[in-house]
A and B are shown apart, each in its own frame.
Chain A
Amino acid sequence: MTRADLAQEIFERVGLPKREAQEIIEIILKTMMDALKEGETVKISGFGTFTVRKKTPRMGRNPRTGEEIEISARRVVTFRPSNLLRVKSK
């Protein structure tokens, strides 16, 4: 599923033209990205929670050359699905 499929779904469910739906999808994603950029946790009840975590620098190795390199400090986003989003096993 891509943005275009999501726009199609929104169109079918609420009748919003696809172009407008696409535009709103962009705004939703942009708004979530801006919040994460500020280090905010994004908690969407019934869907899941996006959290920003800080990683300290650590030593790593280039698997091809064996050379040791420092992996710099960075921020990463983790996603924890809500209980309603636990996929049932077949």
Chain B
Amino acid sequence: MTRSELINRVYEELEGYTRKQTEIIVETFFDALKEALLRGEKVELRGFGNFKVKTRKPRKARNPKTGESVDVPERQVIHFKAGRELRELLNSR
């Protein structure tokens, strides 16, 4: 399912909104989510899951081609953990 398919499905569920309005709202939803994560905020969507920004420690790695040692700086990564409802939904059968 792509972004535009998601917009179509949400549009079909809704009443009283045009396709264009639905699109703007869905886009705004993901924009706001993304901006919060880029600010380093945790996002909690109960049932669906949580997004958290985790810090990876700096480490030394090796260039596998040359064997040369390189420094990997501290990095921030986004981690998603599925919520209980989503986990149960995927495993109910």
Chain A contacts to B: CB under 8 angstroms:
1-3, 5-6, 9-10, 13-14, 16, 21, 24-25, 27-29, 31-33, 35-37, 40-48, 50, 52, 74-79, 81, 84-85, 87-89
Contacts and interface: CB of A to CB of B under 8 A. Distances in A.
B88 to A, nearest CB: 10
Contacts of B37: 85, 87
Contacts, number: 128
Looking at chain B, what size class is its interface with the partner chain? 35 or more
B70 interface: no
B27 to A, nearest CB: 9
B78 A1 contact: no
10 closest pairs, A vs B, by CB?
A: A79-B80, A87-B76, A9-B32, A75-B90, A1-B36, A77-B82, A35-B1, A1-B43, A29-B48, A81-B78
Given A35-B1, A44-B30, A74-B90, A29 B45 contact: yes
